[in-house]
A and B are shown apart, each in its own frame.
Chain A
Amino acid sequence: MAKSTAGKVPEERAATAAEVEAAIEALSDADWYRLRDFAERRAFLLNEKARGRDLLGEAFERLLRGSRKWDKTKVGFLTFLYGAMRSIAYSWLKEKVSPTEAPLSASSLVVENEDGKLSDPVADFARASVDASQLLVYRESLEQIDALFVNDEEERMVIEGFRDGLEPPAIRDLWGFSQPKYNAIIIRMRRKMRRAGIADPREVSRHVQ
C-alpha cells in the first residue's frame, strides 16, 4: 500500500514543476484508471462528505500549491497521490457534518463510573472520533457491500475477515485459501463492487438494493 509521505520534505528532494509534468506524462492508461478507481472508492467511504468534491483533483492541487510535497527520492508519483488522497479523505471525514453543528463542551461529557472515576471525554473522542449518525451511514454502506456478496460463500468469508481487521495472510490461513485462490476472490470482489457502483456513491442507491 501507499507508504506515508508525511513530514517535511527537504526542498532538494521535492519534485519540481517539470518533474511533476514529466510524471503525469509517464503514467500509463492503467495507472490513470487505478487513480480514478482509488479516488472513487475513497469517495464511497466519504459518502455525503465527498459530494461536490474531487479528491484526486484536490490531491493534485495541493501538490501544485506546495502544501503537500512529493519526495521523489522516496516514492513514485502514484504512491504519492494515493497517500495524499488517503490523508485528504481522512481530514474530510473528520470534518463536522454541518457547519451549524454546535460545539460541545468536553466537560459536559464527563461521567463518573461505578468506582467514582471520571471519564476523559477528550481521549474518548480521539478514540471514537465519529458520531452515531456517521456510524449509521457506514453501517448502511457495509450492508450494501454485504448484499453484493451474499450468494458467494468465499467472498463472504474474506469480507468477514476484513471486517474483523484481519490482514490477507491471516485470512488465507484462517480459511485455508492459497494465494492464487485468495487473489481470484479479491479480484472478483473488486469487480463486483465496481459493477455495482460501489466506487461511485452517486450510483449506489440505484444498483444496490
Chain B
Amino acid sequence: MSNKDRYDHQLDGLLNQIDRSAVEASDAEILEDAKLAGVDIEANAKQMRQRFLDTARAFHKRKFVEAKQAYANEVKDLQDRVFQIPASPTQQRALLQQAQKAMSVGAFRDFEGMPDSDLPALIEELYALGLLPPEDEKE
C-alpha cells in the first residue's frame, strides 16, 4: 500500500505537526488560541488541575487504606495463629535449640539462662518470625 492510500499515516502526520506547533507555541499564543476557541483558560486549568489532584489523592488514599488493611490482616493472622508450645521447659529449650543456628539476635542466644516463664513467648516470637519450622514440617 503506498503512502498515497495510507490515510492513517497522512492524518497522523498532519495532526503531529499541528500538535508540534501547539507544544512549541508560546504561552501568549496559547492564550490567544483558547480565547479564539471560546475557552476560559483559567477556569479550564482550575477544573483540570483539581480533577488531577483529586484523582492522585484518591489513588494514594486507596493505596494507604489497602496497606493499612493488609497490615491489620497480618496482625490478626499472627494473633489468631496457635503455636504448639511444648509442655515442659526442657522440651521448650530443646525446641529452641533447633532455632539457634538461624538466630543472629544476641538477646535470643542466651535463652539457656532465661526464666522458664519467658520461654513460651520466645517460642511464639520465633514461630512468627519463621525461625522455627511449622508443626507439619518438624522431623
Query: Which residues in A have some Cβ–Cβ distance to B below 8 Å?
Result: 1-2, 17, 20-21, 24-25, 27-38, 41-42, 44-45, 57, 60-61, 64-65, 78, 82, 93, 127-128, 130, 134-135, 138-139, 141-142, 145, 159, 162-165, 168, 183, 186-187, 189-191, 193-195
Q: Which one of B54-62, B76-84, B98-106, B128-136 is at the A interface?
A: B54-62
**What secondary structure prevails in chain A residues at the interface with B?**
helix
B8 within 8 A of A: yes
Q: How far is the CA of A44 from the CA of B56 in the complex (A)?
A: 27
CB distance from B68 to the nearest CB of A (A): 16
Which of A20, A24, A30 has a CB less than 8 Å from the CB of B30? A30
Which of B5, B12, B13, B49 has a CB less than 8 Å from the CB of A25? B49
Query: Given known contacts A29-B45, A33-B44, A36-B44, is B30 in contact with A64 (CB within 8 Å)?
Result: no
Query: Which residues in B have some Cβ–Cβ distance to A below 8 Å?
Result: 1, 3, 5-23, 25, 27, 29-31, 33-34, 36-37, 39, 41-42, 44-45, 48-49, 51-53, 55-57, 59-60
Extra 15 A-B pairs, beta carbons < 8 Å, given A29-B45, A45-B11, A61-B55: A2-B23, A21-B53, A31-B45, A32-B48, A33-B45, A34-B25, A60-B55, A130-B8, A142-B11, A162-B13, A163-B10, A168-B17, A189-B18, A190-B18, A193-B18
Q: How far is the CA of A2 from the CA of B19 in the complex (A)?
A: 10
Q: How far is the CA of A41 from the CA of B15 in the complex (A)?
A: 7
User: Can you give 24 contacting A-B residue pairs, CB < 8 Å?
Assistant: A1-B20, A20-B56, A21-B56, A29-B44, A30-B27, A30-B31, A30-B41, A32-B44, A32-B45, A32-B48, A33-B44, A37-B33, A41-B18, A44-B15, A45-B15, A135-B7, A162-B13, A162-B17, A165-B3, A186-B21, A190-B22, A190-B33, A191-B33, A191-B37
Q: Which residues of B contact A138 (CB under 8 A)?
A: 7-8, 10-11
Q: Is the CB of B31 within 8 A of A1?
A: no
